[in-house]
Amino acid sequence: MTEVRFTHIGGPTVLIEFEGWRLLTDPTFDPPGRTYAFGWGTSSRKLTGPAVAAAGLGAIDAVLLTHVHHGDNLDDAGRALLPAAGTVVTTRSGAPSLPVPARGLRAGQATRLEAPGRPPIDVLATPCRHGPPLSRPIVGEVIGFALTWPGQAHGPLWITGDTVYHRALRRTAAGIRPGTVLLHLGGVGFPLTGPLRYTMTARQAVRLCEAIAPRTVLPVHYEGWQHFRQGRDGIERELRRAPERVGGLFRWLPAGTAEQVRL
C-alpha cells in the first residue's frame, strides 16, 4: 500500500507526492483577472489564483499535461516552469509546441517514469472527448493518465483529463479498474454553444462511478474560472441524489493543503 499526498493548487493543477516522486498535473499559475481565448469564439476569465505559487513548489520530477492548447490547463506561468521539470508527458500533437522536449502519447500508448531509488511509474494515456460527439477537430486532442507502480493495493491512480462521459472512456476505465480517480468536472459551457458541455457534470460522474466502482474520487477542475457551469455546490446537490455507495466515494481536497490517500 502506498501513501500518496495530493495538494490541490487550483483548477486541474495538483501536486502528487509519494515515495520520493513529485508529479504535477496541468500547471496553471497565472494570477486571476485575465480572459483567455479557447478558439472558435469561446473564451473564459480566470477568477481565482493558485493556492500555491509556482516559486513555492520545489523540484518537480514530471508534469502530466492533458493538453497544451487551453489556458485553464496550461497558462503562461505554467509553461514557464516546464523547463525545470524532469519530464513532461502530454499529447502526441501537443508535444512539439512546448518549450522543452516532451513525451507525446496518443490514447492507448504508454511510457515509464524511472529514477534511482524510486518505484517505476507506468503512465498509460487514456481517451478523452472534450465536448460533444464529433467535436475533436474543434477542441483538439486531449488525454488522461492512468498511473501504475509497484505496491498499489487498490488499483491505479487515474487522472481523467478534460472529458465528457462517453463509451470509450467507460470501457477504458473498466479495463483499468482505478482505485483512486482525480476527476475533472465543472460541466464546462460557453454562451456561444448553449447547453453543450465540454467536461463532465456530476450526473455523468455518478454514471461513471457506478460503472467502475473506484475506492476514492477526488474532484478537481470545477472552480476558479468563468466557464465552469457546475461548481462544488451543484456537484454536491447531485451527489445527494445519487446512491449512497457513489456519493460516499467523493473526497474534497482542501486548496493548498496536502491530503493523504492510501492507494
Query: Which residue is listed with cell 511509474?
Result: 121
Q: State percent of the chain over pLDDT 70.
A: 100
Between the alpha carbon of residue 124 and those of residues 49, 64, 81, 204, 254, the distances in Å are 30, 11, 23, 23, 27
Cα 219 from chain centroid (whole Å): 9
Residues contacting residue 171 through CB under 8 Å, at least 6 positions apart:
none
CATH superfamily of 3-262: Ribonuclease Z/Hydroxyacylglutathione hydrolase-like (3.60.15.10)
**What is the percent of the chain where pLDDT is above 90?**
92
| Contact partners, residue 62, CB within 8 Å, separation at least 6 | 21, 23, 24, 85, 86, 87, 88, 89, 113
Please write down the HEC assignment for all residues of 29-60. Answer: CCCCCCEEEEECCEEEEECCCCCCCHHHCCCC
Domain boundaries, the chain: 3-262
pLDDT tens, 27-81?
999 999 999 999 888 999 999 999 999 999 999 999 999 999 999 999 999 999 9
Q: Which of 33-37, 226-230, 245-249 has the lowest mean pLDDT?
A: 245-249
User: Quick check: 212 and 174 in contact, CB under 8 A?
Assistant: yes
Residue 98, pLDDT above cutoff 80 = yes
Res. 1: pLDDT tops 80: no
CA 210 to chain centre: 20
Going by pLDDT thresholds of 50, 70 and 90, the confidence category of residue 244 is confident
pLDDT tens for 129-154 read: 999 998 888 889 999 999 999 999 89
Q: Does the pLDDT value for residue 263 go beyond 90?
A: no
> How many other CB atoms are found less than 10 A from the CB of residue 213?
13
CB distance 126 to 176 below 8 Å? yes
Quick one: which of 118, 47, 130 has its CA closest to 94? Answer: 130
Q: What is the pLDDT of residues 171-201, one digit of tens each?
A: 999 999 999 999 999 999 999 999 999 999 9
Query: Please, what is the average pLDDT of the chain?
Result: 96
pLDDT computed for residue 134 by the predictor: 82
Closest CA to 199 of 233, 235, 171, 172: 235
What pTM does this model have?
0.97
Angstrom distances, CA of residue 177 to CA of 148, 189, 198, 220: 11, 29, 24, 20
User: Widest CA span of the chain, in angstroms?
Assistant: 51
